[in-house]
Amino acid sequence: MSNPFSNYQTDVLFLLVGSNPLPNYVAARLLIKEQGTMVLLHSKSTTNVAKRLASQLQKEQPDLVIQYYTVPEADGPATAIQVENAARAFERSYPRKTVGLNYTGGTKPMAAYTHRVLSQMFPGAVFSYLDARTLSMVVDPGGGPVQYIPVERQVRMTLAQIAALHGYEIKSFRQSSRHVAIAAAIAEVHLVKDGMEQWRKWLETWNNGAKLPDLSRFPALAPAMQGFDQACGGTATENGVAQVLGYERLEQCGKFFVGGWLEDYTLEALHQVRQITQLDDYAAELLLRAPRRPDFDLDIAATIGYQLFAVSCRATDKKGLAKEHLMEVFIRASQMGGDEARFATVTLCDDDNVRDLQREVTEAWDARGKIKVFGRSHIRDLSTYLLRWFREANQEAP
């Protein structure tokens, strides 16, 4: 497949480093020639960001030359002086060496003054920025017409790569469900009349010891008992169900029965989606850790190209609880995936609450087109709705 960016790659690429290195990483992968030079213009506050970016890129492109220059965030004239000093090293070899600037990151003064200096010193320089709205690289090729080039899958990233750019390591994750049939059976319980209420009341009986449900007391739990029996190959027992789920005793399954089953159910739906549309990476129960920084986790995450999709799962029909969980994933995944990231929550809310929650958070968080709320009516055919979300999440993209 031909590379649509080959005509715009340069020997020297200046990058303005912002708080999120992901756009810089994408620009470097697309716009630097082999054995090229990357000039990182960063502020004091983004020094470590620049170093992580450089480390990740040099693992993949060992012949890449990297230079660092510290520039002030808000002092435009001082930035201009630093940029001019950095550019002098290449001025003597220009136009033999082609020069480019990607100004997606950094502050507005950094972008404005850097653009002014480089356009004066190198009239044929290639200027560009990554447009998060359309997932395109906008290229101004030194006097020619401006180009909008879809990035698509020219850059493919794993969850581990995105985490590493931010200084995190994925300490644990899983890509397979604990037991698909049991998760589906519990989902069915939550969709039948009185099922959710009886499921909660059954779990409350565990205070007196964890036992399988008595269907004379909890008749709505019949689908779950059928699933337990099938999983155990006959008549289910407490220890048999626990062992099928990877535990020793039933009381150890509490977290799974409270809400973990919905993660399993959603993960299985994601498996089905992957058979239709390619995901570059995906995982559930991701635990991310970095030195001297708080751990955080994501219920489910996937990548398509360089774009991060994050999904929270909350087995609740309460709009407030669903919103709380959605806010957590919105904050955490925004930090990792930047403006291109997309977020969803899988809940058991009714259609009215789903519509209200989606409208409320979209307006309050200025997140038009970034958030999707799934509810009770989506559960039985969740894979279809997830697939539609992946395909429609970037409706402004070409």
Would you list the DSSP string of 290-345? Answer: ETTEEEEEEEEEEEETTEEEEEEE-----HHHHHHHHHHHHHHHHHHHGGG-EEEE
Give me the mean pLDDT over the 270-290 stretch. Answer: 93
Going by pLDDT thresholds of 50, 70 and 90, the confidence category of residue 286 is very high
Residue recorded with tokens 């404005």:
112
Residue type, 227: G
Cut 0.85: pTM above it: yes
Domain spanning 156-398, CATH architecture: 3-Layer(aba) Sandwich (3.40)
pLDDT at position 152 is 86
The sign of the torsion formed by the CA atoms of 146, 103, 5, 310 equals negative
Residue with the bigger pLDDT between 335 and 95: it is 335
Q: Which residue has better confidence, 103 or 393? A: 103
Average of per-residue pLDDT values in the chain: 93
CA distance 297 to 183: 21
Judge whether residue 5 has pLDDT over 80. yes
Cα angle: 309, vertex 310, 315; to 5 degrees: 140
Residue with tokens 């090229």: 36
Mean pLDDT across the stretch 159-181? 95
CB 125 within 8 A of CB 372: no
> Is the pLDDT score of 281 beyond 60?
yes
DSSP 13: E
CATH number of 6-151: 3.40.50.10770
Mean local confidence (pLDDT), 347-361: 96
d(CA 348, CA 346): 7
Q: How confident is the model over 153-168, as a mean pLDDT?
A: 95
Q: Which residues contact 105 (CB under 8 A, 6 or more apart)?
A: 15, 16, 17, 18, 19, 20, 21, 23, 24
pLDDT of residue 396: 61
SS3 state of residue 36 = strand
**Burial letters 380-393, b for 16+ CB under 10 A, else e:** eebbebbbebbeeb
Q: What is the DSSP letter of 149?
A: E
Q: Nearest Cα to 166, choosing from 52, 55, 58?
A: 52
Query: Six-digit token pair at 72?
Result: 């002030």
Nearest Cα neighbor of 50 from 187, 188, 141, 165 is 165
- Given a cut of 80, is residue 142 above it in pLDDT? no
For residues 176-204, average pLDDT:
96
Average pLDDT over residues 62-91: 90
- Signed CA dihedral, 354, 357, 363, 366: sign only: negative
Q: What does the angle CA 365 – CA 268 – CA 189 come to, to the nearest 5 degrees?
A: 85
Per-residue confidence (pLDDT) for residue 1, from 0 to 100: 54
Model pLDDT, residue 345: 96
- 3-class state of residue 268 by DSSP: helix
Which residues does residue 67 pair with via DSSP β-bridges, in sequence order? Answer: 39
Residue at 170: amino acid letter: I
Task: Look at 82-86, 92-96, 300-304, 354-358 and tell me which has the smallest mean pLDDT.
Answer: 92-96
* Residue ranges of E strands in the chain: 10-16, 32-42, 65-70, 99-102, 126-131, 136-141, 147-150, 169-174, 281-290, 293-304, 307-313, 342-346, 371-374
Averaged pLDDT for residues 262-282? 93
- Pair 331, 367: CB distance under 8 Å: no
The confidence score (pLDDT) of residue 144 equals: 80
For range 138-147, the mean pLDDT: 88
Residue 369 has pLDDT above 90, yes or no: no
pLDDT of residue 74 exceeding 90, the answer is no
In the predicted structure, residue 398 carries a pLDDT above the cut 70: no
Write out pLDDT tens, residues 29-50.
999 999 999 999 999 999 999 9
Residue ranges covered by each domain of the chain: 6-151, 156-398
pLDDT score of 62 more than 90 = yes
Kindly report, residue by residue over 210-261, the tens digit of the pLDDT: 999 999 999 999 999 999 999 999 999 999 999 999 999 999 999 999 999 9
Share of the chain above pLDDT 90, in %: 81
- What mean pLDDT do residues 376-395 have? 92
Q: pLDDT class for 301, splitting at 50, 70, 90? A: very high
Q: Supply the pLDDT for residue 106.
A: 86
Structural tokens at position 261? 């089953």
Q: What's the gap between Cα 262 and its chain centre?
A: 19
